[in-house]
Each structure stands twice: as structure tokens, then as C-alpha cells.
Structure 1
Amino acid sequence: MSKYKLVMLRHGEGAWNTENRFCSWVDQKLSADGLKEAESCGKHLKALGFEFDLVFTSILSRSIQTAWLVLQELGQEWVPIQSSWRLNERHYGALIGLNRAELALNHGEEQVKLWRRSYDVCPPPIDQTHPYYQVIHTDRRYTCCDIHKDKLPKSESLKQVIERLLPYWNEVIVPEMKRGKRILISAHGNSTRALLKHLEGISDTDIVNISLPTGVPVLLELDENLKPVKPHEFLGDQEVIRAAIKKVEDQGKVKPNDK
């Protein structure tokens, strides 16, 4: 029997989602379509009768902005928000800013799929010659983390995302759930995949096939031991969601006119 209902959400679309570029830790606001996605998500959750007591986000603006808009549509703007770098998107290292389809053309679709979706393959690390190194590593938000800025990642596999996310999940989020708080997590594609992998026991091989569209809430029902009572569920028009998932999967493929 379900005891807890956890709603997770990949933020609404950002500008670099539209441009098919690895955004990662580069901070961006939502695009016009991303704003609509977040508002639509809030409307849908309201129609389903969801109420929240606490929201968790990353420290990236697109995650926080999505949470604001969802709460606004729910009429629950007063609900507290807690933000942590541990819910940030995966650090894509040297791939940050690059176009996925162009990478597929130059390195092959399978290599790009490994970089994007595999469990333990880590992209090349970012270094000081990278055009976005200073943008990320001089950002004041990274002086407010629970570890020293010098120890923050320069590149991550999904395995490493899980390793830095789980302490926050176990020590901060889980105790709130067990106190009866109804939780919304507004995060990113890979931090949400990481949590799904952990909670659902998805294998290292099968996680490659899990893709999350922007702005679509994911419901996971858990028992008293925080074990899922059924597979996660995308909330919304299922045909539209399937099309959105395919769009995400196709981002790492060579465009027909580039062949």
C-alpha cells in the first residue's frame, strides 16, 4: 500500500534546450515555452488535487523558477523552498555548451548516448581553458555549498550524481517525508534519473533508456520503507508525453540534413 507520494519534475525548457546544447551547470532562465510548460505543470497538478508542504530545488535558476511557477498555479506560493547544489544537473564537463547533434556527427551517436545516458561513463572534465569555466566556477552560489568550492565536480557520470545526491536525499528529504510532509522536487533530467534509479532499483544497463521530458511531473508512490509500490508515472496527456520523450532521445542523433 502507498504511504508516500513523491512528485518529481524536470524543469521547464531553457534556451539551451531549444538550441540542443549541453547546459549543465551554466545558469539559465526558462525560455518562453519553458514558462508555459511550468505553468501547465502547475495547472495539471492542481486539477489532480495535489498539495505540497515543502519543495526542493537545485541552486540553478531554471529549477527554482519552475518551482515558483508551479506553486503559483497551485495557489501555494507560501510553501517553503529549499535549494541545494546536490540536486543540480549532472556536470557535463568539457561538453558544456556543445551541440548534441553536432557531437553525434563528429563522435557517433553511440558515444553521445554513452555520455548522456550511461551509468558510469564520465565526460572529459572542464578546465580553465573552457569558455564557460569562469562563468561556472566564479559564481557566488558555489561559495554557499556544504563542501568547499574546490571539491565540487569538474565532470560527472550518473553514478557520481547519485553519490552526491544520496546524502541530501537520506539526511534532508527523507526525514521530512517521514514527518508527513508532501514533497515536490523540481530538479533536472539527470538528478531526477539518479533518484529514480536509486528508488526503483533500475539496473545500470536499463537506466540508459530512461529519458525525462521538460516540464512533465513524475509521480512515484512509496511504501513505509520507501520502496515503490508500482512503476513511476508521468502525469499528463500520455500521447504528448511520449512525443516529448522521443524529442529528448532524438537530441543526441545526427540530423538528417547533416548526414
Structure 2
Amino acid sequence: MPGQLVLLRHGQSQWNLENRFTGWVDVDLTEQGRAEARAAGKLLAEEGLQFDVAFTSLLQRAIKTLWLALEELQQPWVDVERHWRLNERHYGALQGLDKAETSAKHGEEQVHIWRRSYDIPPPPMADDDPEHPRFDSRYAKLDARVLPATESLALTLERVLPFWHDAIAPRLKAGETVLVTAHGNSLRALVKYLDGIAEDVITGVNIPTGIPQLYRLDDQLNVIESRYLGDADAAKAAAQAVADQAKGKA
């Protein structure tokens, strides 16, 4: 039988708190975010999960969430692989901007298209922008042509899927229990793929911070069951808080 899969979005980051587009900017967790990570670890412990391997991105908010969850779970020895393909969606020229102010300037409808449409990316970051990932040492060994200047969710899925097929899926098929700690959109891309969610439906799906989602899969890694751990109403409220961010409500 294949192992179990858990998806965990990082806890609240400083720019989540400030309601800013974050993308590939390496923003740290807030104190609330660290508490969310520890709470996630407690939920995983209550479920009795024993992990064989964990995967995360190259961004510290996801890495630290993983550390804190594994520490709370008392499994700090679990093998961890970090990879850029699990990074958050690149928000292009929007990165660093306040979501509500951007909505006021460009219109809520336009920002909703940039933020939530499946295949329309935001305006790209300039190639000579010092924040472009090609100037970041952690991506120095990569071909600059694979590094995004902006991404839609569709492009994020194209980036994430090779890592799923090459690194994550084989471990699940080998019967291992896998934890993936990443970001709202890299996980949303995986959820779309796993659950077969239509393009016009995934735009309304929100991934709450710090609440583990457990998947039970068959031999072909088709989904048998998925659920958020802990209180279902709390997960629903947390997902709604994510949805409200672009409107300046959270």
C-alpha cells in the first residue's frame, strides 16, 4: 500500500500579516506563524503520523514551519529535501505591494484576475530588478531560463509537477509517509492535480496557513480521502481569512 501524504502551508508570515504580495521574497514567520507551525505539529502527533521524509521549498517561512512542526512532533530526525520547485508562485511586479492598495489602484476585478485566475500572470518583474531570482545565490546553479519573472497558477503547476513525479510520488509508492510543507499556491497547484479540480473551480480554493491536510491514496496515487486535521470549522474560517486578504479584510 502507498504511504500517506500530508500537505502543510507555512504559518503566517510577516507579509501575510501586512497583507502584501510575497511570492519568492524570503519573508520570515511572525510569532503567530510560529505558533501555527507548532500547532500543526500537535495535530500531526494526535493523528499518530510517523514520517519517513519531508519536502519543502527554499524559502525560510516554509523551512521554519517544517522545523517547528517536526520538533513539536518529536521527529526532528526526519530526512528533509528542499527544492526551488516547491517555492511559492512568483507574483512578478506585484511582489512587495499591499494587496488592498493594489486593488484600490488597479481595481478589485483586475487584481482578482492577477491573483486568482488560472492562467493569467501578473505583470512580470524586470530582468534587471535586483529582486529577480537570477541574482539570488540559492538559484545560482540553475539555468536562468527556468527562473520565473512572474507566474500564473498554471505555470506554478508546470513547475511543481516534475518534482511531484520525480521526487514525491516514488516515495509514496514505496509505502512511505510524506510531509510537504510549502506555500499557498504551490500547494494549491498540487491540490488541483491530486483532486482533479477544474480550472474554473481551483481559483476559489484557499489553503489555510498552518493546518495539515491529510491524503489517503490508492496504489496509483488516486485520492481515496482527504481532510484537514483538527476542527473543521477552524480550517474553514482560516481558509476564508485567506480569501479576504485581497479585499483588505484580513
Q: Which category of TM-score, normalised to the shorter sequence, fits these structures?
A: over 0.9
**Is the CA contact (8 Å cut-off) linking 2:19 and 2:248 kept in structure 1?**
no
Q: Return structure 1 stretches of 4+ with deviation > 3 angstroms.
A: none
- What is the 5 A alignment of 1:40-189? 40-128=39-127, 130=129, 133=131, 136-144=133-141, 147-189=142-184
- What is the Cα deviation at residue 155 of structure 1? 0.4
Identify the range of structure 1 (16-25 vs 147-156) with the bigger mean alpha-carbon deviation. 147-156
Q: Which runs of 5+ in 2 are unaligned?
A: none
Q: Residue 34 of structure 1 corresponds to which residue in structure 2?
A: 33
Aligned partners of 2:20 and 2:99 also within 8 Å = yes
Is 1:234 equivalent to 2:228 in the alignment?
A: yes
Correspondence 1:223 to 2:206: no
- In the other structure, the counterpart of 1:200 is 195
For the 8 Å contact 2:2–2:173, the answer to whether it is kept is no
State whether structure 2 residue 16 is matched by structure 1 residue 21.
no
**What letter is aligned with 2:27?**
Q
Q: Is the 2:52–2:176 contact (alpha carbons within 8 Å) kept by the matching residues of 1?
A: yes
Partner of 1:229, secondary structure, is strand
Question: 2:209 corresponds to which residue?
Answer: 214
TM-score (norm 2): 0.95
Give per-residue Cα distances to partners, 1:151-198, cap 9 Å, x unaligned.
Answer: 311000111111111111101111111111110000000000000101
Percent sequence identity is: 48
Cα distance in 1, alignment partners of residues 116 and 222 from structure 2: 24
Q: How far is 1:105 from its partner?
A: 1.5
For the residue of structure 2 that corresponds to 1:205, the secondary structure is helix
> Which residue, 230, 237, 243 being the options, matches 2:237?
243
Give secondary structure in 2 for the equivalent of 1:185: strand
After superposition, the Cα gap between the structure-2 partners of 1:105 and 1:162, relative to the gap in structure 1 and judged at 3 Å, is same
Shift of 1:213: 1.3
User: What's the TM-score once normalised by structure 1's chain length?
Assistant: 0.91
SS in 2 for 1:241: helix
| Equivalent residue letter for 1:35 | R
C-alpha contact 1:216 1:241 (8 A) present in aligned 2: yes
Report how many residues are paired: 250
1:108 shift after superposition: 2.2
The 1:254–1:46 alpha-carbon spacing in structure 2 relative to 1, beyond 3 Å, is closer
Instruction: Report Cα offsets for 1:19-45 as digits up to 9, x if no partner.
Output: 000111011221111000000100111
- The CA deviation at 1:99 is 0.8
- What do residues 99-128 of structure 1 show as CA deviations (whole Å, max 9, x unaligned)? 111112222222222222221011110015
CA separation of 1:255 and 1:56: change in aligned 2, threshold 3 A? closer
Equivalents in 2 of 1:33, 1:149: separation in Å?
35
Give the C-alpha shift of residue 255 in structure 1. Answer: 5.5
The alpha-carbon deviation at position 254 of structure 1 amounts to 4.9
SS in 1 for 2:90: coil
